[in-house]
Structure 1
Amino acid sequence: MAIRDDTADWASEEFAEASLGDARLSQRLVALARQLAISPHTSLPQALSPAELKAAYRFFDNDQVDTNGVLAPHIAQTLHRMEQLPVVLAIQDTTEFNLTHLHATEGLGRCTGGNERGFLMHSLLAVSPEGLPLGVLGMKTWTRAEATKGSAAQRKSRPVHEKESAKWIEGLAHLSALKSRCAQTQLVGIGDRESDVYELFAAERPDGVDWLVRAAWNRCARHPQRYLWQAVLDTPAAGYTELLIPARGARTLRTARLTLRYAPVRLQPPQTRAGLPEQNVFAVHVIEDEPPAGIEPLEWMLLSSVPTHSPEQALERLQWYARRWTIGVSR
């Protein structure tokens, strides 16, 4: 009985159509993907033989190989998978690569924490509402320059396109550009507290493209209570739910019992963005009732452009945001 090599089939389907200017490079990409897929949790030296590793380094060092060329066929396959679903979650997240130990490496920038050197990568991952990864939709890498001088107020007043925060708006714009290729699918961009950027709420987007973020700021709101948190907490509890919290570091797996509230809120722009219009958003708030001793209770304030008018819809937004754990664990 013949055994089907699913890994080989996957690698060919995802990358055989890569346009790298040389058919041999495309063949090398397929072979490399096939090899790495066997043990995706390991480093290149662990996953490849010495000869394969040398060939891989030659491949990545080739001037004709770039991120767009490698990802293009995979993105096309991802969009094809997305076409089969009514809703797809597009999760954005940033990863920092600390390469301080590679002293001879050039072109690195500063990272978090003192003298660390490396680069950053912002990814857009498509996931089904049930949590099935569908593929990468986009990826951006960059290095940080040395810290710029100036007060906190000066940094806040800078236009968003001059900040790293622009990555969230760029991610939503990239999602909007892809919408025509899966016209019948609702795309929901999802981001953590770092994505609580007012310009994101105000960004233009086509029908069928929405966003869902975790709030970081107690923004001003057009409400008798004046602020976001107070406006939502002023509403009666809509019910209770449970959420499985994955283990992380010393934190063990647990199930949290949460009190649920939701409400429409009209947000006002920050003083540094006074030229932007007020925005109607849908807020969903949950907080853990009785966390284990010594554990900070889980609390999420979620904001979304997706209409949310019932407990069932609020719970769905909560489950959508929980899919962020597919790309990175959030406290």
Structure 2
Amino acid sequence: MSHDDVLFETLLQPHYAATEARISALDRGSVVLVPQDTTSLNYTALQKSVDGLGPIGTTAEGAQGLHLHSSLAVTVQGLPLGFLDAQCWARDPEEFGKKAQRQALPIEQKESYRWIKSYRAVASVQRRNPQLTLVSMGDREADIYELFAEAAGTPSGPKLLIRAKHDRALQEEPARLFETIRAQPIAGYQIVKLPRQKDRPARAAKLAIRFAAVNLCPPQHKAQLPALAIWAVLAQEEGAPPGTEPVEWLLLTTLGVENFEHACEKVAWYTQRWGIEVFHRTLKSGCRIEDRQLGHSDRLEACLAIDMVVAWRIYYLVKPRWPLQFPPSVARSNSPS
């Protein structure tokens, strides 16, 4: 693992190529979902014997380890095809606590640039496979205006499906994003099977679906960026069990959402994002990557690249099917779609 040619990115190149081959073999017109997500790898117990780690918690002196950002290609039925991009790094403890200074930096010099870098890796595959539709997905952390601007600048590139975090201003609208979409009529209801989590049993959630086309204004400190025309889909749970926080997803997408069926489709696709969380758990609990004792972060990263392929193979063989199958079971409202 300490050989100069045994590198994280080098080791994953054959897997990227094999993943693209599996994607290219899909039927013309198929949709490939590519959720991306970040997880931290905790080596605090080993930090005295491992060099090159960085803070992964809220303080520079706290938990130490590495960060991993993965982009996993899956079919709309949930079959994991492999990775299209992965990034691993250690945060510089000298830069910890300088958030205000980092905000003034261009996106290319920020840690959040990882989302755009992964999107560009997916875009490369999309260019070589124009017969397919690739959709880059992310949770609230991926709600970055530059990412939407990147997609808007490449209309033939991958589409985006991102859960909203920021209540952005809208063009020619007095209300902001969240208020505007919540004011839309309910188009119908969708049933989503939610998997079990730590202290939450699995359940079927009844989601009220709203959608609308919106024009986002750039943040004030990014006024040089263009306004963006996208679609918003809001899924709000009704009748959640007592003491349980109701599900509420506001999804932003560059895909057209012209009717209720389109909106349900995007919600169903978003549930496939959970698969990358399953993969990360497999990597930690199955491959036990956090127990590796290799003396330096570079060696840990090289070993991580191998374990990622192993964990993907385990996940591929299991092929979980907890998200709903589309078309969903729905109870339509009387509102026009």
C-alpha displacement of 1:160: 1.6
Larger Rg: 1
Contact 1:285 1:302 in 2 (8 A): yes
Paired residue for 1:240?
189
Whether the aligned pair in 1 keeps the contact of 2:127 and 2:157 (CA below 8 Å) is no
Q: Which residue of 1 aligns with 2:43?
A: 99
Q: Structure 1: which 5+ residue stretches go unaligned?
A: 1-59
Residue of structure 2 equivalent to 1:119: 66
Q: Partners of 1:157 and 1:228 in 2: how far apart?
A: 25
Counterpart residue number, 1:110: 55
Does structure 1 retain, via aligned residues, the 8 Å contact 2:53–2:64? yes
Contact persistence 1:237–1:259 (CA under 8 A) = yes
Whether contact under 8 Å (1:79, 1:182) holds in the other structure is: no
Question: Which secondary structure does the structure 1 equivalent of 2:273 belong to?
Answer: helix
Query: Helix, strand or coil for the counterpart of 2:45?
Result: coil
Asked if residue 205 in structure 1 is aligned to residue 154 in structure 2, the reply is: yes
Partner deviation per Cα, 1:133-166 (whole Å, 9 max, x = no partner)? 0111111111111264777654433322222111
Instruction: List per-residue Cα deviations over 1:67-98 (Å, max 9, x = no partner).
Output: 23322222222111112141100110111001
Q: Residue in 2 aligned with 1:196?
A: 143
Letter in 2 for 1:111: I
Query: In 2, Cα distance between the equivalents of 1:223 and 1:230?
Result: 14
Measured against aligned partners, the alpha-carbon deviations of 1:94-125 in whole angstroms (never above 9, x if no partner) come to: 11001011121000011114411101011110
Query: 1:209: how far off?
Result: 1.2
Q: Normalising by the residue count of structure 1, what TM-score does the alignment of the two structures yield?
A: 0.78
Equivalent-residue separation in structure 1 for 2:177 and 2:128 (angstroms): 36
Query: Tell me, which stretches of 5 or more residues in structure 2 are unaligned?
Result: 279-337
1:277-321 Cα shifts (integer Å, max 9, x gaps)? 100111000111111111111000000111111111111110111
Separation in structure 1 between the aligned mates of residue 96 and residue 262 of structure 2, nearest angstrom = 45
Partner residue of 2:216 out of 241, 254, 267: 267
Q: 2:33 aligned to 82, 89, 99, which one?
A: 89
* Other-structure match for 1:226: 175
Counterparts of 1:286-305 in structure 2 under 5 Å? 286-305=235-254
Is the Cα contact below 8 Å between 1:123 and 1:140 reproduced in 2?
yes
CA–CA distance in 1 between the matches of 2:103 and 2:15?
Answer: 37
Classify the secondary structure of the residue corresponding to 1:307. Answer: coil
Moved more, 171-180 or 89-98: 171-180
Taking the TM superposition and a 5 Å limit, the aligned residue runs for 1:29-48 are: none
- Deviation track 1:33-57 (CA, whole Å, cap 9, x = no partner) reads xxxxxxxxxxxxxxxxxxxxxxxxx
CA distance in 2, matches of 1:117, 1:223: 47
* More divergent stretch after superposition (107-116 vs 146-155): 146-155
SS in structure 1 of the partner of residue 272 of structure 2: helix
| More displaced 10-residue stretch of structure 1: 65-74 or 207-216 | 65-74
Distance 1:147 1:230 in 2: 40
1:74 and 1:183 map into 2 onto residues whose CA distance is 21
Partner of 1:62: 3
Q: For 1:93, give the aligned amino acid.
A: D
Asked if the contact 1:176–1:206 (Cα under 8 Å) also holds between the matched residues in 2, the reply is no
Q: 1:110 to 1:210 in 2, by over 3 A?
A: same
* Deviation per residue, 1:239-266 (Å, 9 max, x gap): 0011111111111101111100000000
Q: Do 1:79 and 1:181's aligned partners in 2 also have CA atoms closer than 8 Å?
A: no
AA in 2 matched with 1:177: S
Q: Which amino acid aligns with 2:260?
A: P
Quote the RMSD (CA, aligned, Å).
Answer: 1.7
Percent same amino acid at aligned positions?
Answer: 39
